[in-house]
Amino acid sequence: MFEPSYFNAGELASAGFRSLGSNVLIGRSCHIVGAHNVSIGDNVRIDGFCTLVVPNGGYLTIGNYVHLGGYCALLAAEGIEIADFCTLSWGCKLFTRTDDYSGEFMVNPMVPDELRGVTKGAISLQRHCIVGAGSVVLPHVVMGEGVAVGALSLVTTSLDEWGIYAGQPVTQLKKRSRAATKRAAALSCEPAP
C-alpha cells in the first residue's frame, strides 16, 4: 500500500524557513529553493513533487489551513501570498515572471535581460480561494476572497471576490456562496462574519 512520506517536525525546523507554524506537512519529494524566503502558517500540507522556487528578492507567504496538491509549482521571484483556507489542486502553476511570446523579444533565462521582455508581478490569493487542477496563474493577479477557479483554467487578470471562474482565459460563471466563512469562524484565525 502507498504511504506518503513527509518531513518530520525536526527536519522542517532545521530547513531554514523564514517562519514555520505548527502541524506542517511537506512531502519528502518536494523541491524547495530559497526556504529562507518562505513563511508557512499552521495546519499546512504540501503534497509530494511540488516545486517552490523563491530566490532572493522574492517571497512566499502561506497562511493557515492551506493545502497544495501534488505537482504544484510556485515560482515566486516577485512574491506569492496564499492566505488562510486556500487550496491549490494538483498540478497548479503560479508564475510571477513570464516571457513575452510575441517575437519582439528573445526568451529564456540564458539570454541577457536587456534582450528579453519579461513581465513581472506578485500574485495574491486571498482567504478561501480554490484553484482547480492543472490551472495556470500569471503575474499581477489578485484573487479576491472566496474565488473558485475551475480545472485547467488560465488566470491572466485579477478576479473579483466570491466568484466562480473557468476557461482559457477565465471568465466568471456565477457567484459563489459565502457559507464557508461561517464554518471557518469556528477556527481561531477566522473573524466572525
- pLDDT tens figures, 68-98: 999 999 999 999 999 999 999 999 999 999 9
Task: Reply yes or no on whether the pLDDT at 24 is more than 50.
Answer: yes
Q: Are 178 and 161 in contact (CB under 8 A)?
A: no
Element (H, E) at 5: none
If you search the block for the grid coordinates 507567504, which residue do you land on? 61
Task: Read off φ and ψ for residue 19, nearest 5 degrees.
Answer: -150, 150
pLDDT at 185: 84
- Measure the N-to-C terminal CA separation of the chain; round to a whole number of Å: 43
> Domains of the chain (ranges plus CATH)?
9-184 (2.160.10.10)
Q: What DSSP line would sit under 77-122, residue for residue? A: SS-EEE-TT-EE-TT-EEESEE---SSSSB-STTS-GGGB--EE--
**For residue range 124-136, what is the model confidence (pLDDT) as tens digits?**
999 999 999 999 9
Can you tell me the distance from the alpha carbon of 152 to that of 68, in angstroms, rounded to the nearest whole number?
A: 16
Task: Reply yes or no on whether the pLDDT at 163 is more than 80.
Answer: yes
Task: Reply yes or no on whether the pLDDT at 187 is more than 90.
Answer: no
Mean pLDDT of 18-33: 97
User: Percent of the chain at pLDDT above 90?
Assistant: 91
Can you tell me the distance from the alpha carbon of 1 to that of 153, in angstroms, rounded to the nearest whole number?
A: 33
Count Cβ atoms within 10 A of the Cβ of residue 28 and give its class: 0-12 exposed, 13-18 middle, 19 or more buried. exposed
